[in-house]
């Protein structure tokens, strides 16, 4: 199993997936794998990490007593596993060189206690060995990745989209200019510029903005099953009334429960209100407005205190990143397929 999954993690995959709201397939200071799980050797997430070359992402080191950096042949990727509520459950370090390709198999790296725990992985390239991410660090082409869900028992894989992460996506970088990586926590990654916005801000005279609208695709007919993955930089836990549409344009009001703060994996077959005949379609979800509903954000994007709705916790910035995709398993085809779920940023897009 190890050889099969390692080969897969280092293999390229090209899929014709396009969504205007997402920025994908580029290098960044780090990379987000928004859905990660393993259930022992039978099912695991495999990641292939790729570092940039020295011309765009030079490595440095500091040797006492000189205060000046000198070129380095190696650097460290710091990685973090967050659970669905953005608690850091495990962290680690990988030494790499420029132009490196490194397989990362979650079933092999994971703490045994995390078997069956859904979460997400964040990889950050520390280019100078100081253990922190600075505002200007990683602005070149430093790190990218591809990822797969490997169902080894069925000789099948599903593509897991990944998104680049920039230094300014972190609250500490926006506020102080740097993030000490050993302090990475639930409120660090508060933005994702490469994701789709949760709020279209409109004109500067618009004080409320327009919530982004997502089409969460599913298929549950003829033995099909679907995992709808919805990740947000903001805390979106709550219950939402969301219309569902089938392939005959019929609509039905559904109760969409999102029990977790940032990562939710939805089984549409379990949704309250989904009619028996609604086996192929999509769920229309509107991202909640942030606390304060402001468009003139301060430097650190603090929301207006005490603003409604009281049940919604904003990490601090309107327009924070949301990513979503569906993994559809079709036994009739003997394959799993990945569909990016599109976002409508405002009427007319």
- Tell me what pLDDT residue 344 has: 82
Res 173 pLDDT > 50: yes
Tokens of 264: 């939710």
Q: Cβ-count burial of 63 within 10 angstroms (0-12 exposed, 13-18 middle, 19+ buried)?
A: exposed
pLDDT at 217 over 70: yes
Domain range summary for the chain, segments of one domain joined by +: 2-184, 197-344
Task: Give the CATH H-level superfamily of domain 2-184.
Answer: TM1070-like (2.60.290.11)
pLDDT at 11: 39
Contacts of 220 (CB under 8 A, 6+ apart): 226, 268, 269, 279, 280
Q: Tell me the two tokens of residue 8.
A: 């897969």
Please determine, for residue 1, whether its predicted confidence score (pLDDT) is greater than 70: no
Q: How far apart are CA 179 and CA 78, in angstroms?
A: 13
H-helix segments, the chain:
2-9, 106-109, 171-176
Virtual torsion, Cα 135, 141, 143, 149, nearest 10 deg? 120
What is the tens place of the pLDDT at every residue in 327-342?
999 998 889 999 999 9
Q: Region 53-60: what's the mean pLDDT?
A: 94
**Whose structure tokens read 């200007």?**
136
Residue 198 clears pLDDT 90, i.e. is over it: no
Tens digits of residue pLDDT in 109-164: 999 999 999 999 999 999 999 999 998 775 668 999 999 999 988 899 999 999 99
What is the pLDDT at residue 326?
98
The predicted model gives 1-16 an average pLDDT of 39
- Residue 320 is predicted with a pLDDT of 74
pLDDT digits (tens, 9 = 90+) for 237-282: 889 999 999 988 899 999 999 999 999 999 999 998 887 789 999 9
> Could you tell me what percent of the chain has a pLDDT over 70?
79
Bigger pLDDT: 308 vs 201: 201
Predicted confidence at residue 292, as pLDDT, reads 40
């Amino acid at each position: 199993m190890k050889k099969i999954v390692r080969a897969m993690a280092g293999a390229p995959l090209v899929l014709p997936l396009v969504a205007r709201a997402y920025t994908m397939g580029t290098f960044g200071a780090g990379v987000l794998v928004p859905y990660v799980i393993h259930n022992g050797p039978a099912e695991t997430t495999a990641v292939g990490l790729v570092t940039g070359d020295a011309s765009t992402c030079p490595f440095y080191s500091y040797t006492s007593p000189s205060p000046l950096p000198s070129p380095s042949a190696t650097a460290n990727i710091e990685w973090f596993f967050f659970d669905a509520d953005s608690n850091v459950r495990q962290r680690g370090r990988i030494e790499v060189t420029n132009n490196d390709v490194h397989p990362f198999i979650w079933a092999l790296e994971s703490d045994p206690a995390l078997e069956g725990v859904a979460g997400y992985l964040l990889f950050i390239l520390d280019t100078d060995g100081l253990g922190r991410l600075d505002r200007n660090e990683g602005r070149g082409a430093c790190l990218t990745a591809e990822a797969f869900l490997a169902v080894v028992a069925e000789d099948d894989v599903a593509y897991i989209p990944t998104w680049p992460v920039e230094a300014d996506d972190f609250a500490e970088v926006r506020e102080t200019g740097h993030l000490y990586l050993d302090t990475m926590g639930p409120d660090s990654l508060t933005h994702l510029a490469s994701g789709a916005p949760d709020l279209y801000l409109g004109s500067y005279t618009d004080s409320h903005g327009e919530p982004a609208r997502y089409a969460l695709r599913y298929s549950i007919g003829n033995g099909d099953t679907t995992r709808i993955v919805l990740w947000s930089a903001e805390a979106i836990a709550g219950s939402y009334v969301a219309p569902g549409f089938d392939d005959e344009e019929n609509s039905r009001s559904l109760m969409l429960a999102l029990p977790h703060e940032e990562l939710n994996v939805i089984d549409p077959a379990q949704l309250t209100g989904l009619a028996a005949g609604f086996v192929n379609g999509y769920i229309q979800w509107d991202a909640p407005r942030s606390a304060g509903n402001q468009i003139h954000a301060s430097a650190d994007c603090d929301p207006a205190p005490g603003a409604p709705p009281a049940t919604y916790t904003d990490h601090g910035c309107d327009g924070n990143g949301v990513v979503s995709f569906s993994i559809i398993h079709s036994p009739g085809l003997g394959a799993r397929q990945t569909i990016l779920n599109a976002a409508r940023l405002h009427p007319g897009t």
